[in-house]
Amino acid sequence: MRCFSCHSLSLSPICRKCHEKLFRPSISMRRVGTLDVISFFEYADIELFLLSKYELFGHRIFRYFSRRHMAPFLEAFAEGLDRKIHMLCIDDNCDRGYSHTAILGHYAQNEKIEVLHSVLRATNRVSYAGKSLEYRLGNPRKFEYSGPRDIEVILIDDIVTTGLTLQEAHNILLEKGVDVLFALTLADASR
């Protein structure tokens, strides 16, 4: 295949040169409500790649980000854990043949951190892309949670913008007795 960025022949969707040149993660943390949100990149730096979620080949791009960026972070985090915890991926339904957030979670799992699929669902399937804060506030995602209680989770999403989606998910999980340790997103659009 060819590198998604420079189009040279490559075994990976992002060739080694581009990986080293383009993707120097600058991990940042921000607080939304009472939730800490950790992000790897500034949105503008990886926008082109994030938009691949609307294309079929995007699953390879998101697999790359999961394996090369989220997985090492969670591997390091797991070293300090003496118990098993879980990941919940926002919007892990498969309308386009795959779910980009489910892919982010799936390839970043390790012995102590496993994904729970399809237990956190938005019943309002509105798209927030390019929408105002007002619109977002007026159209909550209305999450439903059907997973186990009394577990600890990390929330996974591709982008944090206003943080409203993550906050909404956080609130419903609190009601269900789920302890959200923090949220992990590839990009922070507010940086």
- Give the binding site for Zn ion (CB under 5 A): 3, 5-6, 15, 18
Question: How far apart, in whole angstroms, are the C-alpha atoms of residue 89 and residue 111?
Answer: 18
Angle at 158 between CA 153 and CA 160, to 5 degrees: 85
Question: How far apart, in whole angstroms, are the C-alpha atoms of residue 141 and residue 166?
Answer: 10
Q: For residue 53, what is the DSSP state?
A: G
Min separation Cβ 1 and Zn ion, Å = 11
CA distances from 186 to 26, 100, 140 (A): 11, 11, 22
Residue whose pair of structure tokens reads 């993660």 in the numeric block: 25
Q: Which two tokens stand for residue 100?
A: 């980009």
Pick 13 or 163: Cβ nearer Zn ion: 13
Min separation Cβ 11 and Zn ion, Å = 11
Min separation Cβ 20 and Zn ion, Å = 10
Pick 15 or 156: Cβ nearer Zn ion: 15
Min separation Cβ 106 and Zn ion, Å = 24
The burial class, CB within 10 Å (0-12 / 13-18 / 19+), for 150 is exposed
Pick 69 or 86: Cβ nearer Zn ion: 69
Min separation Cβ 18 and Zn ion, Å = 3
Pick 3 or 74: Cβ nearer Zn ion: 3
